[in-house]
Amino acid sequence: MRSLPTVLLILSFPAGAIAYVVATRILSSLDLPNGLQEFLILIAPLFVAGLVMVPFLIPFFDRKAKADLAEHRRAVASTAGSGDDAAGGATPTSGDPGGVDDPSDPRDPSDPDVPTAAR
């Protein structure tokens, strides 16, 4: 089912709300010091609700990531297939001198600690 990740995304909100209410009731019934109980009732149910929501959210974000990866692969394949020059925005390779003539570079090119690709 193609819409299952979207359905799970929508179901994650009621699941988180139910988990929040249940965790709050459990923490309210515990006999803890007053300051600690107030802090735990505020923070712990949010954490529990988040943990309950994660399994519902993973398929949705996984589908989005796979779509983005497929689009990236198509873009790379179309660039490689058309024979465009890779210098437009690409990172320099290990043999490429990179930013040798960069006047904004504060490093001294004669410094032995400067990597060879930046010399």
Query: Which tens digit of pLDDT belongs to each residue from 28-82?
Result: 999 989 889 889 999 999 999 999 999 999 999 999 999 999 999 999 999 887 7
The span from the CA of 109 to the CA of 96, in Å, is 15
Which pLDDT score is estimated for 119?
A: 46
Which pLDDT score is estimated for 113?
A: 64
**49, burial (CB in 10 Å: exposed 0-12, middle 13-18, buried 19+):** buried
pLDDT band at 85 (very low <50, low <70, confident <90, very high): low
71 token code pair: 């689009």
Which pLDDT score is estimated for 108?
A: 63
* Residue-averaged pLDDT of the chain: 81
